[in-house]
Every structure is written in C-alpha cells, then in structure tokens.
Amino acid sequence: MENNYLCYKGRPLVRSGNEMYFGNMSDKYIILIKELATKKVNEVDVGTKFEIQLLFTDPDIKGRGKIKDTSTKASFSDALELAEAWLNRFNAQK
C-alpha cells in the first residue's frame, strides 16, 4: 500500500495537532516542529513562534537523548528552511 504524505522538497511533512514531523524515518535524523504561539489574522490562527528539534530516529535512544539540536523561529517558513538545512547536513554525515 502506498502512503500519500504531503511532501516538502522530497521529504514527508506530517502534522498532528500543533506538531509537524519532517523527514524520512529511514534516515538517521528527522525534524519535529512545534507551534508554540499563534495570533488571530482575519479570524484564522497563524503561528508566530515555532520550536525546531533535530531528533535521532534510532528506537533504542529514549527521552531527551533523542534531541540532537534545537532552535526557535518566528515563522513556519523560517522553521522549514532551518529544518531542511539540518536534515541535509546531518543526514549526509556518516
């Protein structure tokens, strides 16, 4: 059965509530983007603060040990740009 995920630059982007997962679970790292704050714009909630976490996909690593790096950005586009850069850099390392 084929999975039909929304993709950004060739990588799956999956949302669950205020969390978005970006990347392939078969890679060494994925990204977790958490929407921390919003504001109303024309009756629509728009994200104004996002936490980005670079996570190990290794199932043997538990808890806070999964977090390789973290940052905060003011827009989703900035968060995705950083997320892509991290995945490109860290997944390319041996």
Q: Is the pLDDT of residue 77 over 80?
A: yes
Residue among 76, 74, 84, 90 at smallest CA distance from 22:
84
CB-based contact 22:12 (threshold 8 Å): yes
pLDDT, tens digit, 9 for 90 and up, residues 5-64: 899 899 999 999 999 999 999 999 999 999 999 999 999 989 999 999 999 999 999 888
**Which alpha helices (DSSP H) does the chain contain, by range?**
76-92
* pLDDT number for residue 1: 39
Is 44 exposed, middle or buried, given 0-12, 13-18 or 19+ CB atoms closer than 10 A? exposed
Q: What 3-state class would DSSP assign to 49?
A: strand
Q: Is the pLDDT of residue 71 over 50?
A: yes
**DSSP classification of residue 8:** E
The pTM for the full model equals 0.89
pLDDT, tens digit, 9 for 90 and up, residues 46-56: 999 999 999 99
Q: What 3-state class would DSSP assign to 66?
A: helix
